[in-house]
Homo-oligomer: A and B are copies of this chain.
Amino acid sequence: DKAIGIDVGSTTVKLVVINEQKIIINKHIENTKPRIKEQVKKLIEKVKSDLKEENIPIISTGYGRKLVEDAKENLTEITCHAKGIYNALGFGGTLVDIGGQDSKVIVIDKKGRVLDFTMNDKCSAGTGRFLEHTAGKMEISVEEIGKIALNAKKELKISSTCTVFAESEIISLLAYGEEIDAILKGLHRSLVTRIVGMINSVAFTPPIMLSGGVAKNEAIKKMLEEETGYKIFLPKYPQLMGAYGAAIIAFEKYIKNSRGI
């Protein structure tokens, strides 16, 4: 018996298949295309035919969750992320999820229930987009920026909080001959400061768990540890927590319950 969770985000579509042990046996990440509905339909068909099973329950989440026609239910990202991280790590605490287009902080109790949360999808300055946009100006890939910032000796303060104004600010810092690594370190600090602001706005409970596309950025993890004073825990697949949570809920609701276990 298996279940599928699919997280349709505005930048990427993530799909996972889990087995009875709640282990991920299959995963897919692809960029979101203009015709999301067709893209998702095709992806699900492919996965089902690869598994040679037709009746796999599916739950969808994410910004485009209502476009998944085959889903039994569409659940919010908060519900699915909480479920996913709780099952991946085995304990509660405060989940910090930093994605390319949004960021969220979710407080989860010892039983996996959501106690409090906050979400930002309105201002790019508090999301991974902040780094992407500004790093783009320096012609450095998003994959590298974390390492460069981590190894920087000096750190420059970026005073603009807006992504667009920060972009102009770094252009003039570069014109003044400032070092790229010091600028990058300052940019990371700026994002972390915003995230800490979100953490301070909820009923925070340690430990801190980190997920989302930006969780792979080592500088973000380190600075978040510095700024909060708490050790940060990462799941094995930080980008898949929403899809994983959706799959677990699908399994529990449509397989386990139907068998009366």
Q: How far is the CA of A161 from the CA of B161 in the complex (A)?
A: 16
Partner of A133, one of B34, B122, B164, B176: B164
Q: Is the CB of A162 within 8 A of B122?
A: yes
Residue pair B124, A164 in contact (C-beta under 8 Å): yes
Inter-chain CA distance A162–B101, complex, in Å, is 11
Name the residue on B nearest A102 (C-beta): B165
Instruction: Check B161 against A164 for contact (C-beta < 8 Å).
Output: no
Contact B165 A164 (CB under 8 A): no
- Which of B129, B162, B172, B176 makes the CB contact (< 8 A) with A123? B162
> Contacts of A172 on B, CB cut-off 8 Å?
34
Chain B residues with CB below 8 A from A165, complex form: 101, 122, 124, 129
Interface membership of A190, Cβ < 8 A: no
Residues of B within 8 A of A164 (CB): 124, 129, 133, 163-164
Q: Which of A122-137 contact B (CB under 8 A)?
A: 122-124, 129, 133
Contact with B along A137-168 (1 / 0, CB 8 A): 00000000000000000000000011111000
This protein's copies in its complex: 2
Mask: chain A, 112-125; 1 = CB below 8 Å from B; 0 = not: 00000000001110
Q: Which residues in B have their C-beta under 8 angstroms from that of A129?
A: 164-165
Judged by a CB distance under 8 angstroms, whether A261 is at the interface is no
Interface residues of A (CB under 8 A from B): 34, 101, 122-124, 129, 133, 161-165, 172, 175-176
- 5 other A-B residue contacts (CB within 8 Å) besides A123-B123, A163-B164: A34-B175, A123-B162, A124-B162, A133-B164, A162-B163
20 contacts between A and B (CB under 8 A): A34-B172, A34-B175, A34-B176, A101-B165, A122-B161, A122-B162, A122-B165, A123-B123, A123-B162, A124-B162, A124-B163, A124-B164, A124-B165, A129-B164, A129-B165, A133-B164, A162-B163, A163-B163, A163-B164, A164-B164
